[in-house]
Amino acid sequence: MTDPREAELLATVPDGLFVGGQWRPAEGGKTLDVRDPSTGEVIRTIADASVSDGVAAMDAAAEAFPSWAATPARERAEILRRAFDLLQARKEDVALLMTLEMGKPLAEARGEVVYGGEFLRWFSEEAAHVQGRYGANPEGTGRMIVTQHPVGPCYLITPWNFPLAMATRKIAPALAAGCTVVVKPASLTPLTTLYFAKLLEEAGVPAGVVNVVTTNSTAAVSERIIGDPRLRKLSFTGSTPVGQKLLQQAAPGVLRTSMELGGNAPFVVFDDADLDKVVEGAMAAKFRNIGQACTAANRFIVQRSVVGEFTRRVTERVKTMRIGRGTDDGVQIGPLIDDRAVAKAEALVADAVQRGASVTTGGSPVDGPGTFYEPTVVADVQAGSDILREEIFGPVLAIVPFDTEDDAVRLANDTEYGLVSYVYTESLARGQRMIERLETGMMGLNVGVVSNAAAPFGGWKMSGLGREGGAEGIHEYLQTKYTLTPNPFA
């Protein structure tokens, strides 16, 4: 680490587990290394929790729950609001930290601080708005009272691709609802969560309300926590296969679950679309986060009469993209998260080409330190290619032509995933038809990025269960009680 500002910032990140309001080493002093994917260098060594450390975190969350649940909503809201303000004040630090551990360009990391911070502000506002109902039953014999209660201690598992936003999107609604949490960030990018936990402490979150365990023994630690009879809820963001495994583990305890899983977003371009807007939207939908987003456009399904022009224009744009370390000025494409991600991009492109597609730009890993892959456009992708079925999770734009609207719908829905779709058309009626016909939980109609703290984020089909953000988000952490009392006049 040569840059003094980076070294100074990294030194401020706690290296322990955060359990019951204390920062402490892992059992036996075990540690894990965190690397900068743009250089491969170890940038920080932190605690590597054991199963018993996980149990200690669960103990702390269970112990803190009754008093946090009883804390007035306004007080919980104000703590979240303070956290929002602190995050704004530390925006540059948090952004740089994300770039260092995950690789995204600094400008995008700053954008994530804004997006991730909005969950703190949004749920600070929602906390005081949880309401019940009171009314007569239809028979007139009684009064029905419906109230909302925090579900209890929650286990939150987050992925590496949005280290801040995936944490705030879960922690903020949980705390707003009155739940306590154990958070397990991805071991590839745990530093942002550790830094954020310290910030929450400063904002006044009481001991035991938020606990953080970082670990390389993910499966063992998680299985034990998920099997703990005191746990009431599991919220997971990550890949569909891991989500399926966790749902099985959650079944014996009949846990409430929220699952934000993988995607395979179609980006449908009709010939009546405004191609300037399409190209802007395509670049954002594909290359944000170096293509490593669950919402990343995976399949560009483009009407045949405009596919040539679309391919030419995106190829031109992609050729000008700057690759490099996320901290360098003007960089748009940082490293992929690890070697496996590069190998996956390579394999998907090779398979598409072998089945008849052509690469119009890019198509290779970049030599040297770090795990870089060139931004790539693959045209004329043929049916049956792996790239149409699997999540690419890299900077590869794959194009498939179509003829009719029915063909577009069939191609777009031809996946087990259903997270998000993008549609470009200047026809209102066609846009409305697509809203009704595409099997996704979210849609960008003439826009390439849909995420917003005020919106219900989540998928259909194998992309998940539940919603994060919006008015819905807090209900994932609340349970309903209905009480009947006699008619007081009878």
Residues with catalytic annotation? 260, 294
C-beta of 141: minimal distance to ligand NAD in Å?
Answer: 46
Residue 262 binds ligand NAD, judged by CB under 6 A:
yes
Q: How far is CA 330 from the centre of its chain?
A: 25
By CB under 6 A, name the one of 93, 118, 391, 476 that touches ligand NAD.
391
Q: Does 260 bind ligand NAD (CB under 6 A)?
A: yes
Q: Are strands 478-486 and 142-150 parallel, antiparallel or unpaired?
A: antiparallel
* Identity of the residue, 97 or 259, whose beta carbon is nearer to ligand NAD in the bound complex: 259
AA letter at 170? K
- Binding pattern for the stretch 217-236 against ligand NAD, x by CB under 6 A and - elsewhere: -xx--x--------------
Q: Which is nearer to ligand NAD, 173 or 178 (CB)?
A: 173
H or E segment and range at residue 486 = strand 478-486
Nearer to ligand NAD, 161 or 180 (CB): 161
Nearer to ligand NAD, 394 or 401 (CB): 394
- Residue 172 and residue 127 in contact, taking contact as beta carbons nearer than 8 Å: no
Note whether 261 binds ligand NAD by CB under 6 A: yes
Nearest to 176 by CA among 466, 472, 474, 469: 474
CB of residue 420 to ligand NAD, shortest distance in Å? 9
CA 387 to chain centre: 22
Pairing of strands 154-157, 265-269: unpaired
- CA–CA separation, 437 and 435 (whole Å): 6
Size of the residue set binding ligand NAD (CB under 6 A): 28
Q: Which helix (H) or strand (E) holds 30?
A: none
Give φ, ψ of 84 to 5 degrees: -60, -45
Query: Interface mask (CB under 6 A) for ligand NAD, residues 341-380, using x and -?
Result: ----------------------------------------
- The reply on whether position 419 binds ligand NAD by CB under 6 A is yes
Nearer to ligand NAD, 162 or 373 (CB): 162
DSSP sequence for 138-152: TTSSEEEEEEEEE--
Which of 30, 245, 313, 355 binds ligand NAD (CB under 6 A)? It is: 245
109 near 96, Cβ under 8 Å?
yes
Task: Considering only the stretches 8-16, 102-110, 158-166, 404-412, report the one whose residues sit in contact with ligand NAD under the rule CB under 6 A.
Answer: 158-166
Question: How distant, in Å, are the alpha carbons of 209, 223, 356, 423 from that of 63?
Answer: 9, 20, 60, 48
Report the distance separating Cα 392 and Cα 158, nearest Å.
Answer: 19
For ligand NAD, give the closer residue by CB, 68 or 476: 476
Measured at the alpha carbon of residue 431, what is the angle toward residues 429 and 433, in degrees to the nearest 5? 70
Residue nearest to ligand NAD (CB): 238
Q: Does residue 420 interact with ligand NAD by CB under 6 A?
A: no
Distances (CA, A) of 318 to 285, 287, 311, 397, 429: 13, 9, 10, 9, 32
Per rule CB under 6 A, is residue 326 in the interface with ligand NAD?
Answer: no
**Range in contact with ligand NAD (rule: CB under 6 A) among 24-32, 258-266, 316-324, 371-379:** 258-266
Residue ranges binding ligand NAD (CB under 6 A)? 157-162, 166, 184, 186-187, 218-219, 222, 237-239, 242, 245-246, 260-263, 294, 391, 419, 459, 464
